[in-house]
Amino acid sequence: LGWDRKRRAIEPRRGKPAQTTFRILRRYALASWVEADLHTGRTHQIRVHLQSVGHPVFGDWVYGERPSKRLSRAVGVTPERQALHAARLEVAHPIHGTPLVVEAPLPDDMAQWLRRLDGET
C-alpha cells in the first residue's frame, strides 16, 4: 500500500490528540445519520474517527470505500462528494474573543438522501 501524506490515521503513540463526540440522530437499515461535535480541530478528524470504528462517511473515497450498491440504490445516487455538512460552526473572534456562530441549512442533495432513506422518495 504505501504511505499517503494527505491521509490521516489514529496513531496512539505518535499522533496528536483528537476528540469527537458523536450522537446518532437517526438509524436506518443501511446507514445512520450522526451529529459530530469536534472538541479539537484536526485534519480530516470526523472522517478518520468514523472510519476507525468501521463506519466511513457516505461518499468518502479516501477513508471509506465505494458505497454499497444497496445504499446507493436506497438514496438514488452514488455520491460524487462526501455526505458531510457543517450545520453550525462556532469559533472565537480573533480580536475580541466573542463567539462567532455561523449556521447553514442541510444541502438539498443530502436532504433528498435522507428523505429517500425515510421512505418518502
Name the DSSP class of 22. Answer: E
Check residue 92 and give its pLDDT. Answer: 94
Query: Average pLDDT, stretch 15-23?
Result: 87
Identify the CA nearest to 48 among candidates 59, 57, 40: 57
Which tens digits make up the pLDDT trace of 58-73? 998 888 877 778 888 8
Residue 52: other Cβ atoms inside 10 A: 12
∠ CA 112-118-121, nearest 5°, is 50
Predicted TM-score (pTM) of the model is 0.79
**Cα–Cα distance for residue pair 18/35, rounded to 1 Å:** 16
What's the farthest any 2 CA atoms get from each other in the chain? 50
Residue 12 has pLDDT above 70, yes or no: no
